[in-house]
Amino acid sequence: MERILVPVDGSPGAKKAAQFAGRLARETGAAVTLVHVYDMPTAAALGLRSVDGREFERIRDEVARGSFAAASASLGDVARVETHVAIGHPAHEICTFAARAKPDMIVMGTRGMSEMKSLLLGSVSEQVLRHAPCPVTIAR
């Protein structure tokens, strides 16, 4: 195993995924890429679409830094860690990035939506599981 992709959003599920990916990376010598997707549909719903470009970039980068810091703390002592920020729908952006980066595996958390909510809305982890170009491990 050479590369592990870990989508992060600062959630408890992302922390668990980073912990698992960190153990796996230490055992295999794999590099870890942390990817944070700034969820544009949610940002638009919160009214951030009207924020000017520089302020939007500042907000995006601040949110990503927080997610990367939390995940890095959970990874532990991993030799090679890279970060990537994307903007858009999280599942789509994660799968698109994975198709380009060609990781051996994606390790991600789940927010633990109820069955009904997941059935109606679909979860990011479920969508990635269905559409990713590589194996996906869901850490709970």
Residue with tokens 């010598």, as numbered in its chain: 29
Which of 44-48, 60-64, 71-75 has the weakest average pLDDT?
Answer: 44-48
Distance CA 128, CA 90 (A): 9
Domain map (residue ranges) of the chain? 3-139
Which of 13-22, 32-41, 80-89, 100-109 has the weakest average pLDDT?
Answer: 32-41
Alpha carbon separation from 49 to 43, 52, 53, 57, 124 (Å, rounded): 7, 8, 9, 12, 22
pLDDT value at position 7?
97
Predicted confidence (pLDDT) per residue in 73-126, tens digit: 999 998 899 999 998 899 999 999 999 999 999 999 987 544 544 554 458 999
pLDDT value at position 117?
47
Q: Which option is the CATH number for 3-139: 3.90.180.10, 1.20.1260.10, 3.40.50.620, 1.10.10.10?
A: 3.40.50.620
pLDDT tier at 129, thresholds 50, 70, 90: very high
pLDDT value at position 47?
60
Q: Which amino acid is at 9?
A: D
Contacts of 140 (CB under 8 A, 6+ apart): 13, 16, 109, 110, 112
Distance CA 108, CA 128 (A): 9
